[in-house]
Structure 1
Amino acid sequence: MAQTIVVSSQQLVEEAERAIETLTVAQALALHGRDDVTFVDIRDPREREREGKIPGAFSCTRGMLEFWIDPASRYYKPVFGEDKTFVFFCAGGLRSALAAATAKHMGLQPVAHMAGGFGAWRDAGGPLEAPEARKAT
């Protein structure tokens, strides 16, 4: 018997966006570089290698997010214990909405996500770190 999906991925993103703050790229650019804000890049490492990074962003893949936020987890990252605003972003703004909603649900606050993600940031002329050169093996 085939699986019946009762909630679409788009519905999940829409629910997440209703629960969190969504920043425009202009709003995110205005926050970049502030000491009280941490940008969280949830893209896959291959995406960062290919496209580059937002300077100063903390990299946390989507798959490890819950474990890195939870202080009781052996994978906890102290950056998530800091008294800061966390701005999540991905490549296009879908995964980051889900990530920010999950972080908020876990108790991390304040959180937001950037509409349009890294692509919108790049297209708006936001500062970038060049992609890392691949090492020859």
Structure 2
Amino acid sequence: MPLTVKDMLDAAHAAVPKISGAEAITLAAQPGTLVVDLRDSAELAATGKIPGAVNVSRGLIEFRADASHPMHNPAFSEAKTVIVHCASGGRAALAGKTLQDMGYSDVRNLGRLQDWTEAGGEVEKG
């Protein structure tokens, strides 16, 4: 039987720990942490981004995270704690599971940018 989006999200939520905005703020301040914003550029322009976050649209996460690929972003390292987020949490969950499948062992799902801002996290213009 083919997988549905619900099936994939359920598996991702089960595998990738969900963290609160407050936890994300604390983790993001620690050396060796990478915050990945999975939203598209139009979303960033409209709502801003977490300072220091790397923007990688969901469709490119595998290419940017794979150190052997020419499109690799050197900010990605399997040794880092990776916090993923998007607008509603779905893309973050799926990307987090993908990163785990690629060998990233410490991946956390913040979920929504709004979770960050509601916890008092700063946002800079996108």
Q: TM-score, normalised by structure 1?
A: 0.84
Provide the aligned C-alpha RMSD in A: 1.7
Shift in Å, 1:16: 0.4
Task: Please state if 1:69 is matched with 2:65.
Answer: yes
Q: Give the match for residue 18 of structure 2.
A: 22
Q: Is the 8 A contact 1:54 1:128 kept in 2?
A: yes
| Stretches of structure 1 lacking an aligned partner (at least 5 in a row) | 132-137
In 1, the alpha carbon distance for the partners of 2:113 and 2:124 equals: 12
Q: Deviations over 1:4-62 (max 9, x none)?
A: x9433222111101111111112112212221211111110110000001011111111
Alignment gaps of 5+ in structure 2: none
- The residue that corresponds to 2:53 in the other structure is 57
Bigger shift: residues 96-105 or 8-17? 8-17
Alignment partner of 2:123 out of 89, 112, 128 = 128
Q: What is the TM-score normalised by the length of structure 2?
A: 0.90
Q: Which amino acid aligns with 2:113?
A: F
Give the 3-state SS of the residue equivalent to 1:21 in structure 2: coil
Partner of 2:77: 81
Aligned identity (percent) is 33
- Secondary structure of 1:79's counterpart equals coil
- In 1, Cα distance between equivalents of 2:67 and 2:28: 26
Separation in 2 of the partners of 1:28 and 1:104? 18
Does the residue aligned with 2:18 lie in a helix, a strand or coil?
strand
- Measured in 2, the distance between the counterparts of 1:13 and 1:114 equals 14
